[in-house]
Amino acid sequence: MSAEHHSSLLDAVKGQPKQVWITAFAAVIAFMGIGLVDPILLSIAKGLDATPSQVTLLFSSYLGVQVVAMLVTGAASAKFGPKRTVLVGLTLIVAATALCSAAGSIEQLVGLRAVWGLGNAFFIATALSVIVGAATGGQSGAILLYEAALGVGLSVGPLLGALLGSISWRGPFLGTAVLMAGALVLCAVFLKSDKHEKREPIKLLDPIRALKHTGLLRTSVASALYTAAFFAVLAWSPFVLGWNAIAVGLIFCGWGLCVAVAGVALAPRLAAKLGERHAAAAAVFGYAVLMLVLAVPSKPVLVAGIVVSGLVSGLLNTLFTGTAMSISDAPRPVASAGYNFCRWLGGAVAATLVGHVAEWFGSPQAPFVASAVLCVVAGGLLSLREKKADPRAVPQEAVLVGEEF
């Protein structure tokens, strides 16, 4: 990322149109849903008499459906328009979260989380393209806003889950339904109508075809491997800690704040120095080291590792998204859908297998060691030389000239 593309959060927020702010607010609440159940995993297991592997299905069903649905979000947005696609997604989330609060079994809860994931798929990928398309100040500033929304949502979600979950595990779901209903009303009123907007048709398989681009495919696969490690932290560490909802919620609130700060304040600086792809490679190798730290059988070390991992996750979320949205010439909704398909597929697989990995190896630390291996592979993919020069990298000639002065 060259100096002219460098953007700060302050630059990104200046003079943004109303629909960008409304979409970003809704994105905050949508991302809250990822970490919302984290502090109440043990409470859900106890309340519904479920095993850890059954409870982690709350992540895998949510992400699994979201992954498949990502393939149709671009086509839906092109056919019906971004606003209507966003509203359908939010409506599904409101309905699913409200019903989650009344679930009577783990199977019902897993099924409703799948509906929640479907709604999130329609919303998340479309929201990114809406923010990028409507924001002033260029793509880099828009991505900072999107990642800021991700970080705030990830930090507030566990805290809300902890506070409401201390009353009942049903509380966080009901609270999210109320907040999402508010976001739905705001989007319905303030988002620009797309009835008369001209849109290029997008076919269902276009996101998969977009992945034929070597750079986008490599970035997406590396992101999937990192996201698998990300969800090993999110879905498994509460079971290793074994603490109550408030304690886990506070830990992941700190983690989410680190995600937000690193994503909007540190990632642009690192990208400006190394280029987005090379910066992502360095960060994902750092994440591998942190995964090995989490594998140390010490709860204080685990807590510190979780919080610090938020800083690296913030870097990687922004760097991966920025690279994916600019590395190919595919339309933004198509590139976003293809990239998010791979990204969240990694999370879905990890959330499904994380408990089983611990059982297979007979160690609660095994998922973290496996995550470290995945991150090393991801870093290797990003480190492979491109046939074409990275447009975000600083030319060697410029470095040499700078050193002369």
The CATH architecture that domain 3-404 belongs to is Up-down Bundle (1.20)
Where do the domains of the chain lie? Answer: 3-404
Of the CA atoms within 13 Å of residue 104, those in its CB half-sphere come to: 0
Per-residue DSSP letters for 348-373?
HHHHHHHHHHHHHHT-TTHHHHHHHH
Contact, 90 vs 187, CB < 8 A? yes
- Cα maximum dimension of the chain: 70
Q: Measure the CA angle with vertex 181, ends 318 and 58; round to 5°.
A: 60
Contacts of 16 (CB under 8 A, 6+ apart): 135, 136, 137, 145
Report the percent of the chain where pLDDT is more than 70.
Answer: 85
Lowest mean pLDDT among 72-81, 168-177, 181-190, 284-293: 72-81
Residue 376, pLDDT score: 97
The stretch 370-381 carries a mean pLDDT of 96
Q: What is the DSSP letter of 192?
A: P
For 105-153, how does the pLDDT look when each residue is reduced to its tens digit (9 = 90+)? 999 999 999 999 899 888 876 777 777 666 666 666 677 777 778 778 8
Evaluated on CA atoms 360, 366, 368, 373, the torsion sign reads negative
* Residue 340 confidence (pLDDT) above 60: yes
* Residue 396 confidence (pLDDT) above 50: no
Output the pTM of the full model.
0.78
Tokens of 10: 């302050």
Q: Rounded to the nearest 5°, which phi and psi values hold at 56? A: -70, -15
pLDDT band at 280 (very low <50, low <70, confident <90, very high): very high
Instruction: Say how many residues make up the chain.
Output: 405
The stretch 343-369 carries a mean pLDDT of 90
Cα Rg of the chain, angstroms: 20
| CA distance linking residue 190 with residue 192, whole number of Å | 6
Report the percent of the chain where pLDDT is more than 90.
Answer: 29
Look at residues 67, 97, 49 and name the one whose alpha carbon lies nearest to residue 231. 67
pLDDT band at 183 (very low <50, low <70, confident <90, very high): confident
pLDDT band at 403 (very low <50, low <70, confident <90, very high): very low
* Residue 92 confidence (pLDDT) above 90: yes
* Residue 349 confidence (pLDDT) above 80: yes
